[in-house]
Amino acid sequence: MAATSADLADDGFPAPRLFSQGVSYTYDDVIFLPGYIGFPADAVDLSGPPPPRLSRRIPLSIPCVASPMDTVSEAAMAAAMASLGAAAVVHCNTEPDLQASIIRAAKSRRLPFVSSVPFFSPASTPSLSDFAGQDYGLVTERGDSLSKLVGVAVAADVSSRQAPVPVSEYMHPAPRSASASFDFEQAAAFLADEGLDYAPLVSDDGEVIDLITVSDVERIRSYPKLGKPSLGADGKFVVAASIGTREGDKRRLEQLIKEGANAIVVDSSQGNSIYQLDMIKYAKKMYPEVDLIGGNVVTIAQAQNLVAAGVDGLRVGMGSGSICTTQEVCAVGRGQATAVYKVASYAKDHDVPVIADGGISNSGHIVKALSLGASTVMMGSFLAGSHEAPGTYEYKDGRRVKKYRGMGSLEAMTKGSDARYLGDTLKLKVAQGVVGAVADKGSVLRFIPYTMQAVKQGFQDLGASSLQSAHDLLRSQTLRLEVRTGAAQVEGGIHGLVSYEKKAF
Ligand SMILES: NC(=O)C1=CN([C@@H]2O[C@H](COP(=O)(O)OP(=O)(O)OC[C@H]3O[C@@H](n4cnc5c(N)ncnc54)[C@H](O)[C@@H]3O)[C@@H](O)[C@H]2O)C=CC1
Ligand SMILES: O=c1[nH]c(=O)c2[nH+]cn([C@@H]3O[C@H](COP(=O)(O)O)[C@@H](O)[C@H]3O)c2[nH]1
Ligand SMILES: [K+]
């Protein structure tokens, strides 16, 4: 006998019903009921059409964004994320000049990496430690990237020497340079065609920006094939940047925009403030061509004010981040599943894409964030253990880890060259975040494509062939959800085993 329509209507809750019960749900609290699979997982196209958007005018080909945190997003992360079709938001916990130079470094190339190759002048006598772990150094007339390249120093040549000798005496003559506008395949072909082990990358203006080596090529070839990169109208990588809401941030904003930042994130834990609204109005008036992302918000009322002020994107999440103590310290915030659903259900009517920020610790959380209405997810801890995150690996209890800290941690606040806290030395500082460490995850160029494959499998289970179709399932109330009890969450995880090895790919 066929199921009655009452039976079907009662089988799980549609989102509006689940999220209107006065309960704050996290991603782990909720679970989707499967839909109908009418296509293979590889037919799921996360790139659209329409594509996921960082903000109104910035399409991406994968729905991932690196958070504006000083242990997550600098040049290497920005270049890698853009080359994957995602994006990074360069943090502002540094002098504006340095933030601008990070953007310049990421936008100066079309390769998925930024190496920290050292520069030397011909008369300098670098020791091995001056190579900072790099195999090569670039020798230029003045010892900086803006003067003429004269040679390449090999670290192994230094280690075999007793006394310090000017680098000009043992450097190798500069080989033919590759153009900084080459993409990965072009640069790899250049090395192969010229029979070179390495080639400096030089911009049209003559700036020596990096060195590409055969081992870089081999490393990148060992990862999944790169997809469509995120490129702006200028043909350069899409790179976003964050600012604060102090008077001095207006100068920072000007500098970032001059540097070509494609979108600006106004970075506050509570975006519905007079300071942010004033900053948004100022920025929209001064730079109407640049997309402005406001936040953070978790309610419709907050979102409404930012949308009225003209934002092109909304960052959603308060207290859900892995390093966040805001809910504990300030008693405000919202469960992230509820926050994303509520804000996205409002923002969609204003064509404002939502970034689900914080609390992503697995691919299932990404499926949930996107299916609840977000256009992209923003991640901190998920990316902080990668090769591309700032900082070096250390060992903790035998595990290789990288430092990861909240931007509201005491350590990050006091590092901040920002007037935000230095100007407020008389005020009492209270942390809203912690300093921690995350495990080594290898390169984002490897684990993000695998994560996206897992997201595609989740979408297939729901019967969604794209982001748009997931949003359609949500809005037509075809998508059904339930709350998981504590026991259901235990059951849904790994349980009852004496030991196991968890290896996802
Ligand atoms: N998403 C989240 O749940 C949270 C994120 N964070 C992160 O920590 C960092 C710091 O966040 P916040 O503490 O919110 O920084 P913030 O700089 O926006 O705010 C710090 C304090 O300064 C005040 N303030 C801001 N602009 C002002 C102005 N022009 N004049 C006078 N007072 C002003 C604010 O009202 C607040 O009391 C950010 O990177 C943020 O993303 C921190 C806590 C929670
Ligand atoms: O309460 C907080 N105190 C902090 O110190 C802090 N620093 C970052 N953030 C926010 O957390 C997001 C990253 O979260 P995940 O590590 O879970 O991806 C980020 O994207 C931010 O929204 C903070 N929240
Ligand atoms: K938290």
The CATH number of residue 199's host domain is 3.10.580.10
Ligand nearest to the CA of 404: 2
- Residue 500, in any domain of the structure: no
268 is in an annotated binding site: yes
Residue 417, pLDDT score: 43
Cα–Cα distance, 120 to 286 (Å, whole number): 41
The percent of residues above 90 in pLDDT, for the chain, comes to 90
Query: Is 257 found in the same domain as 188?
Result: no
Nearest ligand for residue 318 CA: 1
User: Which two tokens mark 36?
Assistant: 């109908």
Q: Which ligand 2 atom is the nearest neighbour of the CA of 379? A: 18
CATH, residue 28: 3.20.20.70
How many domains is the chain built from?
A: 2
For 178, counting Cβ atoms within 10 Å of its Cβ (0-12 exposed, 13-18 middle, 19+ buried), the class is buried
pLDDT in tens, 16-64: 999 999 999 999 999 999 999 999 999 999 999 999 999 999 999 999 9
Return the DSSP state at 381.
H
Residues 316 and 340 placed together within one structural domain of the fold: yes
Quick check: 505 pLDDT over 90?
Answer: no
Between the CA of 97 and the centroid of ligand 1 the distance, in Å, is: 21
In this structure, the answer to whether residues 89 and 232 fall within a common structural domain is yes
Strands 399-405 and 394-396: what pairing?
A: antiparallel
Interior/surface letters 55-94, b for 16+ CB within 10 angstroms, e for the rest: bbbbbbbbbbbbbbbbbbbbbbbbbbbbbbbbbbbbbbbb
Tell me, yes or no, whether 8 lies in a domain: no
Rounded Cα gap, residues 430 and 445, in angstroms:
37
- Does 277 lie in the same domain as 138? no
Annotation-wise, does 404 bind a ligand? yes
The answer on pLDDT for 290 being more than 90 is yes
Sheet strands side by side (includes 208-213)? 178-179, 198-202, 208-213
My answer on whether 180 and 242 are in the same domain is no
| Whether residue 95 is found in the same domain as residue 126 | no
Are 127 and 96 contained in the same domain?
Answer: no
Same domain assignment for residues 357 and 473: yes
> From atom 10 of ligand 2, which residue's Cα is the shortest distance away?
321
Pairing of the two strands 178-179 and 198-202: parallel
324 catalytic, yes or no? yes
- Is the domain of 180 the same as that of 236? no
Distance 377 CA to ligand 2 centre (A): 13
| Nearest atom of ligand 2 to the alpha carbon of 383 | 18
Q: Which of 189, 214, 239 is the C-terminal boundary of a domain?
A: 214
Question: Of 53, 324, 446, 480, which residue is the catalytic one?
Answer: 324
Residue 316 in domain: yes
279 within domain boundaries = yes
Measured in angstroms, how far is the CA atom of residue 323 from the centroid of ligand 2? 6
Which 8-state DSSP code applies to residue 386?
B
Helices (H), 354-501: 363-371, 381-384, 410-415, 419-422, 444-462, 467-475, 486-492
Say if residue 322 carries a ligand binding annotation.
yes
Banded pLDDT at 419 (limits 50, 70, 90):
very low
| Residue 385 and residue 296 in one domain | yes
Model confidence pLDDT, tens digit, residues 251-260 = 999 999 999 9
The mean pLDDT of the chain is 95
Whether 330 is a known active-site residue: answer: no
What's the whole-number mean pLDDT along residues 415-422?
53
Is 449 a domain residue?
yes
User: Model's pTM, two decimal places?
Assistant: 0.96
Q: Residue 177: inside a domain, yes or no?
A: yes
- Which residues does ligand 1 sit against, CB inside 6 Å? 244-246, 267-270, 273, 275, 296, 317-319, 321, 324, 326, 358, 407-408, 420, 432-433
Of 246, 420, 475, 484, the catalytic one is 420
**Structural domain of residue 201, as residue ranges?**
119-214
- ipTM field: 0.98
Residues 233 and 343 in one domain: yes
Residue 232 lies in a domain: yes
Q: How far is the CA of 322 from the centre of ligand 2 (A)?
A: 6
357 is in an annotated binding site: yes
Q: Is 35 labeled as ligand-binding?
A: no
* For ligand 1, mutation pick of 268, 407, 426 (most atoms within 8 Å of CB): 268
Distance CA 243, CA 266 (A): 5
Residues 155 and 73 in one domain: no
Q: Which of 275, 316, 323 to mutate to test the pocket of ligand 1 (most atoms within 8 A of CB)?
A: 275
* 223 within domain boundaries: no
Q: Give the end of a domain, one of 214, 239, 258.
A: 214
Q: Give residue 313 CA to ligand 2 midpoint distance, Å.
A: 18
What is the total residue count of the chain?
A: 505
Tell me how far apart the alpha carbons of residues 284 and 396 are, in angstroms, rounded to a whole number. Answer: 46
Residues 432-455: what's their mean pLDDT? 97
Q: What percent of the chain has pLDDT over 70?
A: 98
